[in-house]
Amino acid sequence: MEDGNLVQLLDAKTDNLEYVLFSPNGTTLTVLYDDSWLRVWEIPSGKLLISTDAGQNLRWRLRASYSPDGQTLATGNYQGEIQLWDMASGKLKQTLNGQTKPINALSYSQDGKTLASGGDDSIVLLDVNNSQVQRTLTGHSGMSYFMAFSPDNKTLASVGWDDQLILWDVASGKPLNTLTGYSWDANSVAFSPDGNTLAVGYNPVGDGDTVRVWEVNTGKLLLSLYAQSEITDMVAFSPDGNTLAAGTMYAEVKLWDVKTGQLLHTVGGMPPASPDSIRATAFILGLAFHQDGKTLVYGNNLGELAVVDVNSGTIIRTFSALNNSVGSLTFSPDGKTLATAGNYKVLLWDYGTGDLLQTLSSDNDGDVTSVVYTRDGSLLANGSEHNKVHVWDARSGQLIRILDAHSSNFPVETIAFSPDGKTLAAGSGDGFIRLWNVSDGALLEVHEYPEWITSIAFSPDGKLLVSASHDGTVQLWAILAQ
């Protein structure tokens, strides 16, 4: 993978590929098809180990999970059967029948002893050694389509079509806590500076609240805030964690007191006399607090870029955004430079004077969707609509590396550096979250979710990555690449 050249081409035999996954040790590659076929290749020889209709001619997509040691592949089919395949021989070695419903998700525990299978309305935990059902978890009102065990195997996280993320105690089979979203989009997420709370901005159903704040450890809903708008596009905490800002439809910014939930200020927005056709298409797409907590900056799709005094809620300065839509913005760690993204460019501004310092262009890779600095300010990264992530030297403006997200026809919607700056994460419209090693560009982890990823953020300790998606759910991912 060092030079990016094509190493090998495997004949997939069909054009209906549904999902691909490597074994943990990288020695086999599994491809699942939407007509229930399963194929497994040995890497790097390209030898075909398994080629079979694992769905028994039911033409229904499969679900799969590797054991942690990579020696066994588990597949689940529409009949509720779980088949365990030996990777060394390519032969079926065992069939488990603990699940009576079509299997929508599979996940091995980290020690390889337990296999969780998600059915239409329940999750079954199976003992891999004796095929016995350990527990049946009930709590979702619909199918579970994603599951993951915690590193210590004590907790299972599941996401269902009922817009709930449930954390289960594996020993008792009881829910520990539940994060409930809406059936509409979750647009943005942000951790508080101490990592204890999580804010999410929504597209609500009807006249519901558009911002919710949870306690991370317990899943307790702390605040439910109504922005008097149909959509909340951006959320951000102040550096001290006491103020929450939200960018909403009609290009308004709302400021709340986090402790009381009191609305402090409403800033900007389209004049009431503006035509509805213009007001309805005005959105806040970039929002960030300055490090001193005294000011924040917002940008919208109309090309407006403004500095707000947090205490008074008034606009104290505007930038000329060169008639470009401001799709994302962020401060350098020293607070002296403001980076904005939009219309095929990253613009670097002197925050003190408002002067344009530098323009970083990526014309060949489409519009710039997001921009972020490393914590030490040495690197700047941006995502693009043509599936690329660009990494720049923040001081010289030199392009260091281009990372390919391999998301055909989907943009890189959101990016984030880990707190130590060693890992770069990107969420795309195809539901994939990819993590790269910043120093060499090596792909470290890939996580899949079945909906468009709209926002991601690392927890302050770098151990968790939170993502929001179009179906209204919030996902918490344990990060292995640390």
> Domain check: are 137 and 205 in the same one?
no
Q: Place 4 in a pLDDT band, splitting at 50, 70 and 90.
A: very low
Q: Is 5 part of any domain?
A: no
pLDDT, tens digit (0-9, with 9 covering 90-100), for 83-111: 888 888 878 888 887 666 778 888 899 89
> Domain check: are 222 and 89 in the same one?
no
Q: Place 273 in a pLDDT band, splitting at 50, 70 and 90.
A: low
Are the C-beta atoms of 143 and 121 separated by less than 8 Å? yes
Instruction: Read off the pLDDT of each residue in 403-429 and give the average, rounded to a whole number.
Output: 87
Euclidean distance between CA atoms 243 and 384, whole angstroms: 30
Q: Which of 124, 158, 180 is the last residue of a domain?
A: 180
Q: Which of 135, 152, 180 is the last residue of a domain?
A: 180
Euclidean distance between CA atoms 411 and 407, whole angstroms: 7
> Domain check: are 40 and 142 in the same one?
yes
> Domain check: are 148 and 290 in the same one?
no
Q: Is 290 part of any domain?
A: yes
Q: Quick one: tokens of 184?
A: 């509409």
Q: What is the pTM of this model?
A: 0.60
Q: DSSP per residue over 246-312, as a string?
A: EEEBTTEEEEEETTT--EEEEEE---TTS-HHHHTT-BEEEEEE-TTSSEEEEEETTSEEEEEETTT
> Domain check: are 159 and 247 in the same one?
no
> Domain check: are 164 and 198 in the same one?
no
**Per mean pLDDT, which range of 293-297, 298-302, 413-417, 459-463 is the poorest?**
298-302
Q: Is 31 part of any domain?
A: yes
> Domain check: are 294 and 147 in the same one?
no
Q: Is 12 part of any domain?
A: no
Phi-psi sector, 264: left (phi>0), alpha (psi -120 to 50), beta: alpha
> Domain check: are 409 and 451 in the same one?
yes
Query: Rounded to the nearest 5 degrees, what angle is found at the Cα of 382, between the Cα atoms of 4 and 470?
Result: 100
Q: Is 2 part of any domain?
A: no
The domain that holds 167 is classified in CATH as 2.130.10.10
**Per mean pLDDT, which range of 12-16, 134-138, 170-174, 313-317 is the poorest?**
12-16
The number of angstroms, rounded, from the C-alpha of 172 to the middle of its chain's C-alpha atoms is 29
Euclidean distance between CA atoms 100 and 26, whole angstroms: 32
Are the C-beta atoms of 30 and 68 separated by less than 8 Å? no
Give the count of domains, the chain: 2
Q: Place 76 in a pLDDT band, splitting at 50, 70 and 90.
A: confident
Q: Is 4 part of any domain?
A: no
Determine which helix (DSSP H) or strand (DSSP E) holds 129, and give its type and residue range: none
> Domain check: are 471 and 396 in the same one?
yes
> Domain check: are 369 and 289 in the same one?
yes
The parent domain of residue 274 ranges over 186-478
> Domain check: are 168 and 192 in the same one?
no
Instruction: Read off the pLDDT of each residue in 178-201 and give the average, rounded to a whole number.
Output: 71
In a 13 Å sphere around the CA of 113, the CA atoms on its Cβ side amount to 6
**Per mean pLDDT, which range of 143-147, 184-188, 255-259, 262-266 is the poorest?**
184-188
3-class DSSP assignment, residue 419 = coil
- Please give the mean pLDDT across all residues of the chain: 80
Euclidean distance between CA atoms 289 and 193, whole angstroms: 12
Q: Is 30 part of any domain?
A: yes
Euclidean distance between CA atoms 175 and 160, whole angstroms: 14
Q: Which of 180, 196, 220 is the last residue of a domain?
A: 180
Q: Place 28 in a pLDDT band, splitting at 50, 70 and 90.
A: confident
3-class DSSP assignment, residue 365 = helix
Sequence-separated (6 or more) residues with CB below 8 Å from residue 317: 306, 307, 354
Q: What is the DSSP letter of 104?
A: -
> Domain check: are 199 and 92 in the same one?
no
Q: Is 10 part of any domain?
A: no
Determine which helix (DSSP H) or strand (DSSP E) holds 98, and give its type and residue range: none
